[in-house]
Amino acid sequence: MSDVYFDDLELADRFTSEPYTVSAQAILAFAQEFDVQPFHLDYAAADESVFGGLAASGWHTAAIAMRLFTTGPLRFVGGAVGLGVDELRWPVAVRAGDCLQLETEILDARLSQSKPKHGILRIRNVLTNQKGEVVLSYVANALVQRRPDAAR
Amino acid sequence: MSDVYFDDLELADRFTSEPYTVSAQAILAFAQEFDVQPFHLDYAAADESVFGGLAASGWHTAAIAMRLFTTGPLRFVGGAVGLGVDELRWPVAVRAGDCLQLETEILDARLSQSKPKHGILRIRNVLTNQKGEVVLSYVANALVQRRPDAAR
């Protein structure tokens, strides 16, 4: 679905992204810029950490989920503005070579009180690896535009 | 504080990071890789959006907070492993040229049930801009090492 508006979605609708493969280089580059902890930066230190090997920063994993959300089947006209996120969890670490895929579910939809041309979607994003393990999940509220002929 | 262990912290302790200035180039580069929405990528589209001008991706803002956390005064021996985040909010958009600073508060501290050499800290991270406006806040649980002579 491209050119999506608030009014085009229904509760329990689900959307799946393309797959995305994470390289060791990408894990190291993100960590060097944003999360300079040994288990994200150094193979030997990572082996001795609770991760038992190089693991992506959780914020890198979250950024990959956003990439898959914004390049996926739900292309909102005017974009989707994140209002807040809860229940952000990383049950399994992301490793170099992992192939990730995002599933988005519409949990709730309500009109915005303050912006009559917009609605607020409550969504659950779940990112899984090639084994089907959940590596990231969260619930988010996002502000999206209403279809012009619906927003009166 | 460098070489910090779980046992070195007390409830309500607060720590402040160095300042960090966000460039337009960094906002655009992050968005091109992770959040390809017009208001993070294109000045004209951003002017017409609800942001009224170029704004950093919320996940970029979160990644900057992690950079300031991991390069700040709290350098945990063995690192801090994020277990989960709640109440992640972006009350004010981050703009090119903004100077951001992170404050971390210790909300709770308890021993890990499953990992006797570790404790779990509950922290609040609050990122503010040069006007003192909160641009990001969240509560997180992080697994950190106990001081070797304390963990018996």
Q: Is A18 exposed, middle or buried (0-12, 13-18, 19+ CB in 10 A)?
A: exposed
DSSP characters over A42-87: -HHHHHTSTTSS----HHHHHHHHHHHHHTSS--BTT--EEEEEEE
Nearest to B67 among A35, A67, A88 (CB): A35
Q: Which one of A61, A88, A114 would you mutate to disrupt binding with B, by most B Cβ within 10 Å of its Cβ?
A: A88
Please answer yes or no on whether A59 and B58 come within 8 Å at the CB atom.
Answer: no
- Is residue B151 predicted with pLDDT exceeding 70? no
**Alpha-carbon Rg of chain B, whole angstroms?**
17
pTM for this prediction = 0.97
- Average confidence score pLDDT of chain A: 96
| Distance, first Cα to last Cα, chain B | 24
Question: Within an 8 Å CB–CB cutoff, is residue A37 touching chain B?
Answer: yes
Helix, strand, coil percentages (3-state) for chain A, rounded to 5, are 25, 35, 40
User: What pLDDT is stored for residue A151 in this prediction?
Assistant: 61
pLDDT in tens, B11-67: 999 999 999 999 999 999 999 999 999 999 999 999 999 999 999 999 999 999 999
DSSP characters over B37-62: -HHHH-HHHHHHSTTSS----HHHHH
If DSSP codes are grouped into helix, strand and coil, which group holds residue A34?
helix
Share of chain B above pLDDT 70, in %: 98
Question: Within an 8 Å CB–CB cutoff, is residue A90 touching chain B?
Answer: yes
Alpha helices by DSSP H, chain B: 24-34, 38-41, 43-48, 58-70
**Alpha-carbon Rg of chain A, whole angstroms?**
17
